[in-house]
Structure 1
């Protein structure tokens, strides 16, 4: 399922193999609405200087995808990164993956 050669996909898989947590939610969301939401997040993270990986490419891929999207998430074991997985509606294929560095609390 998690097959991608971009930096975020590789890092998400490493996080999972190193004991990170994951979830894939039931249900789907339109790719168009996700492209809008994550487009806003891209602008916000850039403005605030928050480190992301593959967010711009994920927004682009979601904007072109014309089918419903299922969401998943992987968190690193230390909580330093959260990766969002954008999957086909049946969860069988990765459309895009993005990661965001979490602020230290």
Structure 2
């Protein structure tokens, strides 16, 4: 997927999409996969991860909304990732099977390994 098309698809009104768009416009790297998988499969996996993260006091931006939207979508989705230039954030993005519409987006903080002393 070309960068300008991804930028157009991320022009939504939710915080996670706006943050992903800003990261992309700042030079973030990205990858959108060619294969599609059932949305319910992704929703189930990320519902479990959301519960685990909340137990640790972490609330990823847009993850609860992403789980809900994937469940509601009910059709196969294509996924992708955007990694911010500073390597602090990863955005998980899902599109309709044909890649024409953004289904959901969430932002995760990347965990850096502690440097050895």
Class of the TM-score when normalised by the shorter of the 2 chains: over 0.9
Structure 1 alignment gaps of length 5 or more: none
Kept in 2: contact 1:50–1:100 (CA 8 A): no
Shift in Å at residue 102 of structure 1? Answer: 1.1
Cα-Cα RMSD: 1.0
Q: 1:52 aligns with which of 60, 73, 87?
A: 60
| Aligned pairs, number | 105
- CA 1:24–1:94 in 2, change beyond 3 Å: closer, same or farther? same
State the alpha-carbon separation in 1 of the partners of residues 94 and 11 from structure 2: 12
Kept in 2: contact 1:84–1:97 (CA 8 A): yes
Q: 2:45 aligns with which of 22, 37, 40?
A: 37
TM-score by length of 2: 0.85
TM-score by length of 1: 0.94
- Bigger CA radius of gyration: 2
SS at match of 1:87: strand
Give every structure 1 segment of 4 or more consecutive aligned residues whose post-TM-superposition deviation is greater than 3 Å.
none
* 1:1-105 matched pairs, under 5 angstroms: 1-105=9-113
Structure 2 alignment gaps of length 5 or more: 1-8
